[in-house]
Structure 1
């Protein structure tokens, strides 16, 4: 027993039941999202609700019979129901607002989405809820467009709601929230299509024909499908206020003239609806099939794996094998759904062919559950009427919970589309003065953005990558400077020792030089300086590319998408300006390289002196020869010093072995001429870098040291002046003079007439934005009254 101050002592099973029962009192509203198979839990607990709103418990023998009364005063209950039904009415108006505007709904509105395979009985479930035959039927895909079905409860002329006469003096609470009661002269049931405003369909077979006609208007008479919905509103005293979206039935194999990818098309359409977090999924499954193979439940579990927003409907209960039932499924012991399952019995094909009335089918359904051994004690939680009430309760609760988020999203969407419309601007007219101002403003904004992009002062600086002037700086200090720094005059045998010897010989003319020839050094270093011109000109090209990159980024602005012809003109003028600026820039860069090559300033303060160069050259020779000497004369304890040289003998050897100035030319060549006999020189004479004398080696190495020293000076100079030249003649020139060029080329009447023609996409987008703003503003007005 559980004791409570207000209720006294209550059996524990009834106390726990109070957490499950949906109280009518507005002060205590249990979430239907937590109501898992509520009817069957109540029945399993031995609890049956009475018609008066009292729940009786048939507990164990040692527990007294108790009654828990949860009804509220009629006036409070009626007001609460009116308020709740008004919520669905508001959501219906929101759906209509976007549908009327002809735009897709940007707001995720709460709605019940009906899915299932073609043979699951979806259409019969919906017709039973409405109580009318109004949906197209036939072989193959019948529902080829989403059908947004809005059911509006409306009392009849007798003051009846749902076909039940109200007690005298009692108001039709839930009905009046949707529509005023009908008078005796008015029709009581009719349908209205959103695309046919004001036209009432009292003959429900005509509703079926209109659905078929409107579908064919959109997708033709073949078996194609379309995601564009048909909105249908039905007023009746025999329905509960409810909104559902009926989608095409799932199929796997195309039949007849159905598209080959029909399964994917239908699946994509269904996923578009059920992936939205505010969609309640009504998964219809035939009870005489394996629940694990249910197409509807499979898709529902893809987007709702925990079954939090899926309710199952089990059809064809009466067609199950004898001795079988769905009690385990209803109790959540097979595939659990938080919203539970509801079993229903639909009309069979024979009933449809014989025109069996739905009212008779509902009566047969009630009798089936009341007389079936497995369902008789739970009959009040089975069948179409309970399903309608269940869906009504779930939808109301869901709307109430999502209302704050809907309000926020409407406000955000309105702000977003208003900003976009402002960017698109007003439609262009024929006023030349206004068009001149438009062109002038575009030119001014463009050049301002171009400058800020180069200077790095743009208001929308990128945080994920380098852009604008930062990329130009990268070209200067990383790409260009790095390339110049790595240039080596002696790499890849650009200058070989034999070349140095040849130039030394040639530059000395007919008189052998006593010292290192300056002319040979200058010839060699000039050749290397000229190699710096190509990377310098390449740097100009890279900076030009970066300026074009900045241009393309600016041309992605909405104003240029709005005027594609003007965008093309801007591109041509600006790129032409860049190309014209590249010409003097290239000349200036080439002149700097030529200037360095044409005058070798050996008096430069950073240039190495000849004495120091010779010293470094000798050190390099010694370092290079040291390993050879170490191998020839390895250190040892018994090593004897060389014997003293005879001066006369050395002088004699010198006279016999002296190679002379041209010794390097014939080095390594075998001399076969006899003594005193001279031979003519070879046709081609080449200096050799092998077997050079000590003097020749020192001269060659000294030249290399001098070249390297001066080349490094020139590289530093070029790495400094080339970026400055490019900035002067290309970058800064573009910043300062580009606006003048644009005004001269584009501020003309012929440009106004041609360049300010808006793209078709811009015109369509402006219209769409206006429609969306209108729909959102209307939605704000609707939601503000809740």
Structure 2
């Protein structure tokens, strides 16, 4: 019993060990080929029965229809129609330039590689026909957008072998019934079918010479070619010029730079899938195609590698390390293929025969036989088909959103450009004037369509001038920055006349305060000038809109009339504001309730000069608070009471000094100019300080008045008048022009731009209708 259990345990462990070995071997094989094969599904009968689209995974929708017996109800496959949708979008966007200049980044497979990499042969093998120009130097000189459409065979094709035999024509290249199942169509020759693929080659050469010239120059304008065939996969490829290093023959000196820039414009787009064709018998690190691909796709996420000339490698070498991702790994891996050599082409070896030889090579080669189904052109076509399908499915929502955004953008621009001029000149002028006046009022009120979040504009800038620039300028004025205490003392003596004053005189106060009030006129007039500049800025802002730029003569005339009108009403505005300042100057309201009283000023000065108790002052009015302690004994008489020492100083002390005793004894006449030379007496100090307090108090009253009333005056006389009268003035001036027809002549830019926008709107609408069906 125990012996039998031991035998069973031994056999069980052997089975487990064998399973582990098999799993390990399988993991190694998967890891070894992970860059090539991502799916393990059997692909011998993997064509969708509805669309005949060879998928890398089963078509779920069609398979469900088969399982449920609804196959006859289905006429199309939604999954396969994705590529057809992109093809339709490419054709729809072709009028805009197509290729790298297309406004919408469409998913497409771009083929890059050097001239000797076998790029053209790979494409012909995928199509199954010879149709690309051949020769030395640069043959592909324009991008070729190749759209492959799988179609059902005609009824006379009984099976696949019959279908393949149909791809022949007579020696003269004339159309026969045998090739009626496949043909090519060029977008630039709508409606014409090319059943002879030699004629397709000739048309490619002809179209290239027409755009790029007959020399070796290149052109970025693509050629759109559709090929319909029962034995191609629905696919879209973009064939680009092969990379070259040294110009040959008539090639431009900078041909390498031109080709590189063209290729980079295609492959740098995020939705471009890069098919990098490389010769297997050359060092992969020197591959020009991979080098460009890594510049725009360093992680290799959207690059597929193709290894050509595998059969020309040295004996004993293979590309297993490359396929396993141990050299330059790519997310989608590499696919090895075999192309026809020059000798095969000269011997007229058919592509069908070449594909059969390719299959036999991989099946019989010791390095590739175990994974031969993942090698060769058929697998490459299936892989490209599946990758493109998945990529389209992932990017289609973004493409739809971009088309809608672009369509809305050009529709708005087209609306701003206005319709083509069909009305009479007078009606057009009236419409433009009305739009201008509405926009002018809207900008002043802040009711604009496009409110900026980055800077102030329109009426907000005028408000800034009033409440920041002008207000700060007014309050920055200091009444004592231009007048000194000695000047105040002189004015007090001059204003008292021949009899010395006993108290601080009103006349001296008025003279001094009027001098300071005059200073408000300059910032007030400056404020008017600033508002004028802002109105002119608003004018420029409005006229910069496309709806006004379409008529350059009318735009210029409106600007001239508006500016002239502003200058005219600016004159009475200046006069009105100056009169406001003069009214403040001509009448000094000493009974103003906010003005500091004389007794209060004297009390403040006495407290300052002879502090006893702190006098609390209202910070707003400058008046002492009623409940604050004050010196009740302070009065004008005590403040100005002279002392014996006061007689030794004062206004005239400089003239009656001891050194001038002799002159005084002789009673000589006073000098022509008398100026204060001595120090101020206590009485003069008190009087000067009292005057300064009163001036400061009244100056503050005028400051507040000017800061408030001048903006109101400018609004009344300048801004409101411009709003109410500008339409009438524009109509009078513009309708008076004899050549009013010349005012509504559109500029060339507007006409061209409207035409371009119409074209964009038409194309994008067509594109939007295409994607809306998916």
TM-score for both structures, normalised by structure 2: 0.77
Question: Cα deviation per residue 1:604-633 (whole Å; 9 max; x = unaligned)?
Answer: 232223333333334444579x9xxxxxxx
Matching residue of 1:601:
589
| Distance of aligned partners of 1:202 and 1:16 in 2 relative to their CA distance in 1, 3 Å threshold | farther
Larger deviation, residues 549-558 vs 530-539: 549-558
Give 1:544 deviation, angstroms.
Answer: 1.6
Any residues of structure 2 matched to 1:670-749 within 5 Å, and which? 676=665, 685-688=674-677, 691-747=679-735
Matching residue of 1:590:
578
Question: Cα deviation per residue 1:624-680 (whole Å; 9 max; x = unaligned)?
Answer: 9x9xxxxxxxxxxxxxxxxxxxxxxxxxx959963454125688x976968946677
| Distance of aligned partners of 1:604 and 1:372 in 2 relative to their CA distance in 1, 3 Å threshold | same
Larger deviation, residues 740-749 vs 704-713: 740-749
Matching residue of 1:641:
none
| Residue pair 1:665, 1:687 contacting (<8 A) in 2 also | no
How many pairs does the alignment contain?
Answer: 696
| Residue pair 2:148, 2:227 contacting (<8 A) in 1 also | yes
Q: Which ranges of structure 1 fall in alignment gaps of 5 or more residues?
A: 1-10, 20-34, 55-67, 173-181, 627-652
Question: Cα deviation per residue 1:389-423 (whole Å; 9 max; x = unaligned)?
Answer: 22223333444455555556555555554454444
Give 1:780 deviation, angstroms.
Answer: 5.2
Picking from 361, 366, 386, the partner of 2:379 is 386
Larger deviation, residues 582-591 vs 507-516: 507-516
Local SS of the residue matching 2:547 = helix
Give 1:131 deviation, angstroms.
Answer: 4.0
Picking from 116, 120, 125, the partner of 1:123 is 120
Matching residue of 1:98:
93
Local SS of the residue matching 1:149 = strand
| Residue pair 2:651, 2:679 contacting (<8 A) in 1 also | no
Matching residue of 2:557:
569
Any residues of structure 2 matched to 1:471-490 within 5 Å, and which? 471-490=461-480
| Distance of aligned partners of 1:252 and 1:783 in 2 relative to their CA distance in 1, 3 Å threshold | same
Give 1:548 deviation, angstroms.
Answer: 2.2
| Residue pair 2:182, 2:227 contacting (<8 A) in 1 also | yes
Local SS of the residue matching 1:148 = strand
| Distance of aligned partners of 1:562 and 1:661 in 2 relative to their CA distance in 1, 3 Å threshold | closer
Any residues of structure 2 matched to 1:553-564 within 5 Å, and which? 553-564=541-552
Local SS of the residue matching 1:314 = strand
- 1:525 aligned to 2:521? no
Local SS of the residue matching 1:113 = strand
Give 1:150 deviation, angstroms.
Answer: 1.6
Larger deviation, residues 588-597 vs 672-681: 672-681
Larger deviation, residues 295-304 vs 147-156: 295-304
- 1:768 aligned to 2:763? no
Local SS of the residue matching 1:692 = coil
- Mapped partners of 2:758, 2:299: distance in 1: 40
| Distance of aligned partners of 1:90 and 1:469 in 2 relative to their CA distance in 1, 3 Å threshold | closer
Matching residue of 1:8:
none
- Mapped partners of 2:578, 2:647: distance in 1: 51
- Mapped partners of 1:691, 1:142: distance in 2: 104
- Mapped partners of 2:764, 2:569: distance in 1: 51
Give 1:541 deviation, angstroms.
Answer: 1.6
Give 1:92 deviation, angstroms.
Answer: 2.2
| Residue pair 1:151, 1:243 contacting (<8 A) in 2 also | yes
| Distance of aligned partners of 1:373 and 1:17 in 2 relative to their CA distance in 1, 3 Å threshold | closer
Picking from 267, 272, 276, the partner of 1:283 is 276
Q: Which ranges of structure 2 fall in alignment gaps of 5 or more residues?
A: 1-18, 28-32, 48-57, 167-174, 615-642
| Distance of aligned partners of 1:660 and 1:376 in 2 relative to their CA distance in 1, 3 Å threshold | closer
Give 1:539 deviation, angstroms.
Answer: 1.0
| Distance of aligned partners of 1:411 and 1:455 in 2 relative to their CA distance in 1, 3 Å threshold | closer
- 1:315 aligned to 2:304? no
| Distance of aligned partners of 1:194 and 1:457 in 2 relative to their CA distance in 1, 3 Å threshold | closer
- 1:193 aligned to 2:193? no
| Residue pair 2:649, 2:680 contacting (<8 A) in 1 also | no
| Distance of aligned partners of 1:80 and 1:251 in 2 relative to their CA distance in 1, 3 Å threshold | farther
- 1:469 aligned to 2:459? yes
Picking from 423, 441, 445, the partner of 1:451 is 441
RMSD: 4.5
| Residue pair 1:191, 1:232 contacting (<8 A) in 2 also | yes
| Distance of aligned partners of 1:739 and 1:514 in 2 relative to their CA distance in 1, 3 Å threshold | same
Give 1:729 deviation, angstroms.
Answer: 0.6
Matching residue of 1:242:
235
| Residue pair 2:509, 2:691 contacting (<8 A) in 1 also | yes
- Mapped partners of 1:36, 1:137: distance in 2: 35
| Residue pair 2:403, 2:764 contacting (<8 A) in 1 also | yes
- Mapped partners of 2:479, 2:428: distance in 1: 57
Local SS of the residue matching 1:532 = helix
| Distance of aligned partners of 1:269 and 1:53 in 2 relative to their CA distance in 1, 3 Å threshold | closer
Give 1:263 deviation, angstroms.
Answer: 6.2
Give 1:536 deviation, angstroms.
Answer: 0.9
| Residue pair 1:162, 1:238 contacting (<8 A) in 2 also | no
- Mapped partners of 1:427, 1:235: distance in 2: 43
Give 1:313 deviation, angstroms.
Answer: 1.6
| Distance of aligned partners of 1:511 and 1:782 in 2 relative to their CA distance in 1, 3 Å threshold | closer
